[in-house]
Homo-oligomer: A and B are copies of this chain.
Amino acid sequence: MSVDLSVAVGTLRLANPVLSASGTFGYGLDLVDLCPPEALGGVVTKGLSPLPRAGNPPPRIVETAAGMINAIGLQNVGVDAFCRESLPQLRQRRVVVVVNVFGETMDAYVQVLRRCEEEEGIAAYELNVSCPNVSAGGMEFGHEPQQLERLTARCREATEKPLWVKLSPNAPDLVATARAAVAGGADALSLINTVRAVAIDAERRRPVLPRVFGGLSGPAIKPIALRMVLEVHRALPEVPLVGIGGIETGRDAVEFLLAGASAVQVGTATFRDPAAPLRIVRELEAFCAAEGVGAVQELVGALAWP
Which chain A residues have a beta carbon within 8 Å of chain B's beta carbons? 64-67, 69, 172-173, 195-200, 202-207, 210-213, 216, 218-224, 226-227, 230, 246, 251, 254-255, 258-259, 287, 291, 299, 302-306
Contact = CB atoms under 8 A, between A and B. Distances in A.
A190 to B, nearest CB: 18
Given A197-B226, A219-B66, A258 B303 contact: no
A113 to B, nearest CB: 31
* Copy count, this protein chain: 2
B210 A198 contact: no
B224 A196 contact: yes
List of 8 A-B pairs having minimum Cβ-Cβ separation, nearest first? A65-B219, A66-B66, A197-B223, A220-B220, A65-B66, A198-B227, A172-B172, A200-B255
B219 A223 contact: no
Given A198-B230, A227-B196, A258-B200, A206 B66 contact: no
A227 B213 contact: yes
Best-surrounded residue of A224, A254, A259, A304 (most CB of chain B within 10 A): A224
B226 A303 contact: no
Nearest to A230: B198
